[in-house]
Amino acid sequence: MGLDTIPIRSEVMSPPFEQQGIVALLQEISQLLRQLALSDENGVIDLRRSPLSPAQREALLTLLGQGEVSAELTVMGRSRVEETALAGVWWVTHYNEEGVVVAELLEIAPIPQILLSVEDELGESQDRLQQMIDGIINGGSVK
């Protein structure tokens, strides 16, 4: 006898097949947003590890929409950071120097990690500014 001959009662409402992956991802985003609100802990979803077909990926992009902020970084190749229509949900794509995607993430955070300036760098900036000021005072010209 085949298993298909035994009637199966579905006890939960489930979305159509093609959309199940997307719904799971949206649930995960929602969970991470809740975590961010509760504990200030940033969340990251690795999109390359989620088996999305190109069509599903497009559908997800459309669903999440376009927010107000976008940023482009030039660091070992290009990186793009785009806010989605959902505040706190960022679509981050890292390319290598040849333009091939090396990482694609959804970051759930007030602002994505890669955009932040860190303390060490602030100190370095101060040192360099001081050098500029000294240079102007001593040499008298701005270069």
Binding letters toward another protein, positions 63-92, x by CB under 8 A = ----------x-xx--x-------------
17: contact with another protein by CB under 8 A: yes
Q: How far is the CB of 19 from another protein (least distance, A)?
A: 10
Residues 36-55 that bind another protein (CB under 8 A): 38-39, 42-46, 48-49, 51-53
Query: Which residues neighbour 22 within 8 Å (Cβ) at sequence distance 6 or greater?
Result: 52, 56, 59, 60, 63
Specify whether the CB–CB gap between 106 and 92 falls below 8 A.
yes
The H or E element that residue 81 is part of is strand 78-83
Which residue type sits at 136?
I
Measure the CA–CA gap between 63 and 29, rounded to whole angstroms. Answer: 13
Interface with another protein (CB under 8 A): 1-3, 5-9, 11, 17-18, 20, 38-39, 42-46, 48-49, 51-53, 56, 73, 75-76, 79, 94, 96-98, 100-105, 113-114, 118, 120-121
